Amino acid sequence: MSEFVIPAPTVPTVPTTTGGRFPVRRVFCVGRNYAAHAREMGHDPDREPPFFFTKPADAVVTDGADTPYPSVTRQLEHEVELVVAIGRGGSDIPVDAALDHVWGYAVGIDLTRRDLQAEAKRLGRPWDTAKGFDASAPVGTITPAADVDPTSGTVEFRVHGDVRQTGDLADQIWSVAETVAELSRFVTLAPGDLLFTGTPDGVGVVDRGDLLEGTIGGVGSVRTVIV
């Protein structure tokens, strides 16, 4: 077997409540999955088909580590989300079997260079630099699926203790099962994939020095400081 010509990249991992770590293969995100957030972003929330974008696996920030403020933006915004950790792969997964493919759930923050995203939308360009930049996906500890009800739970996000976002998993336009099934139509899911499932309304700007804390009832929490 030939040797690598450069050092092989380290596999990003996320802590779990079991004590082991979950290796991250890919990171998918679904957009506008809460009606109120769709409205605040200027869109019709009437159950439009879900759409997906991606972040690189090494965009995850874990274990409460600080998150560096990204370059080339003056409008960094927060979006707190339920994160689904895929434990069993598959394609064209039926909705009624989708949750069987989930290893666990966590709380995550989809950080967005909103000014770059707005410009990309205006020009009809991809969102990659607005969504998929370094350290754009802080994630908390993953709780095994058997211990979580992904259909309900209070979602809350705070900056320096001030509540910015509130909602409930029951408010999702597309359920976790439906979202996993729909994504599996476009790509073959594999163990190690993460899926951010959308955010409630109340997204807003964060800056250097801000303490970000997100919680979802029955799931867990995520915490990071922008530096």
E strands in 69-186: 76-78, 80-86, 102-109, 112-113, 137-138, 143-144, 154-159, 162-168
Q: Do the Cβ atoms of 65 and 87 come closer than 8 Å?
A: no
Which domains, and CATH codes, for the chain? 13-225 (3.90.850.10)
Report the amino acid identity of residue 69. Answer: Y
138 closest CA partner among 159, 109, 112: 109
pTM score, whole prediction: 0.94
User: Percent helix, strand and coil across the chain, each rounded to 5?
Assistant: 20, 35, 45
Average pLDDT by consecutive 10-residue portion of the chain (227 residues)? 88 98 98 70 66 97 98 98 98 98 98 97 96 98 98 98 96 95 97 97 96 98 98
Q: Do the Cβ atoms of 223 and 212 come closer than 8 Å?
A: yes
Q: Give the position of tokens 């964060």.
A: 206
How high is the pLDDT of residue 171?
93
